[in-house]
A and B are shown apart, each in its own frame.
Chain A
């Protein structure tokens, strides 16, 4: 399963796949990696996928991969590609993935870990009981068709209008928790069917909810901008658009596979099926994808509401008294029309981020007012039991990576290899030793998501910081993990 194609080292943290590697490549492939990470990157077919993405029509500059890159389907996970709508550029649903707007949100509390150590078991039990998780898990909200249509247009704001949050939550979400241009009519009845009872559910696989403690502060602005200092409790939520998004992707791919011959598009992998950005098929996909993205923001908003309720119950205080403010919410599976500098001129490009996070630098108008003088917060979850990080975006990311950075640790071991080679009780023992409480719907998920199945998050972060595309703010240590 290893990859033996050409990877030329061009700097300490950058490797290149030359366009001559494949005759259909129109641009080069660039992988951000350290020497240590590049060894694991060669262990699967992810670099081949970087080369495949370099073949999609209208791609500009390069096909990029972040240091958490691993083998996905179509695009690599950790892949970034920008296409030019005015030069035959396409949009590819496979460049977003099935879990549209899978993403992460981080909220703070004013609790100090040392004051609440004895409450952690109670908190873990309360969160596990109150937050629906696991396969096909259903939320506590049942949406009528009419309500679902409103939610698709307004995203997290619709839930806030119903009392499940406050306006400040929206200010601290990428896109303020809803993308303009969503169209409920672009979504199939089948997607409504799959999504109507899943708002406020975590799902399974790598999705999780984690109570963490700020373990190390690297940048003193952590206190000024985020109100975070060492010892403080935070909560991270990782989930996406659930069955709704999977169905939107499925419907769109089916249509785009059909229009490959119509638009005379030839690709090395059918999962990269695309349509020209200005086509009817692309417009419909974009409107449906935005609806699914808004669904995901609403889902994470409801999950955060359930977390706040659990904290209120355990600590017997209102969430406002506990200062459980949303720090930020980022999408890491999405495509967006964004303005970037290309050949010295500002141009609108369609940026696909498949397992990659937007990372805008200081002063960018898209960054919420609160963080404009700092840079956009970037939230990077680690694997179960390992550290997570809060970082900020940079000007260099805007210049080099279409303002993108990594999204997590990145897998190295397949789910089957992880569940066959690891021992459940030893793994639980190791997690207990690290003082991590784990609650999960099934043993299999715990084994498949074991830290040994992932790359070293610290090395991934060292690479994005070393290459200048993000800057570390603080490190977060897991205390309770709730998994589906």
Chain B
């Protein structure tokens, strides 16, 4: 069960994800994106390694989500689980992740909708009053 909320948007689709850990924000956002695209949970027969950079955490989040879309649209790879490490160096935030999942053939039964991209519109990673991270992302669908 993916832990996220939908944000209402007229033309597109938005998500809100909350967690005490920044790594979890990235993980949950990725899982939310996958659950928007497909309604299957394949096995974990395949693995992918990704390294993504951003100028700040929100930029890194968008770049990571678009990397997942790239893996899906070019190789039908659906992520099921991941190990994430986040690093920082001057002017740059870096995510390295080992992704587990599988390659599958999209069909009418297992596909929900096309997501074109994760956008920067109203993008947020903030702390709420309880000190948790809250991220909001709008997808172009």
Contact = CB atoms under 8 A, between A and B. Distances in A.
B140 A73 contact: yes
Nearest to B38: A135
A246 B117 CA distance: 7
A438 interface: no
Interface in B88-107: 106
Nearest to A97: B140
B21 interface: no
B11 interface: yes
27 contacts: A46-B10, A70-B10, A72-B121, A73-B120, A74-B119, A94-B120, A98-B116, A98-B140, A134-B111, A135-B106, A135-B111, A136-B114, A194-B70, A204-B113, A205-B113, A205-B114, A246-B117, A247-B70, A249-B117, A250-B66, A270-B58, A270-B121, A271-B119, A271-B120, A271-B121, A414-B13, A417-B8
Interface in A227-252: 243, 246-247, 249-250
A74 B121 contact: yes
B9 A71 contact: yes
Give the size range of B's interface with the partner: 20 to 34
Interface in A183-220: 190, 193-194, 203-205
B73 A71 contact: no
Nearest to B10: A71
Contact of A270 (B6, B111, B116, B123): B123
Given A205-B141, A269-B122, A411 B116 contact: no
A272 B34 CA distance: 26
B37 to A, nearest CB: 8
B92 to A, nearest CB: 10
Contacts of B12: 72-73, 415
What are the nearest 5 A-B pairs in CB distance? Answer: A73-B121, A270-B120, A271-B121, A71-B10, A73-B119
Given A135-B113, A204-B114, A74 B11 contact: no
Contacts of B119: 73-74, 94, 98, 271
A243 B73 contact: yes
A134 B11 contact: no
B59 A411 contact: no
Interface in A256-314: 257-258, 269-271, 273
A442 interface: yes
Nearest to B140: A98
Given A205-B141, A442-B111, A246 B6 contact: no
A253 interface: yes
Contacts of B6: 416
B13 A416 contact: yes
A412 B6 CA distance: 18
Contact of B8 (A135, A190, A194, A414): A414
Given A71-B10, A257-B120, A134 B108 contact: yes
Most central of B8, B37, B111, B120 by chain A CB within 10 Å: B120
Contacts of B27: none
Given A73-B119, A246-B116, A246-B117, A411 B111 contact: no
A222 interface: no
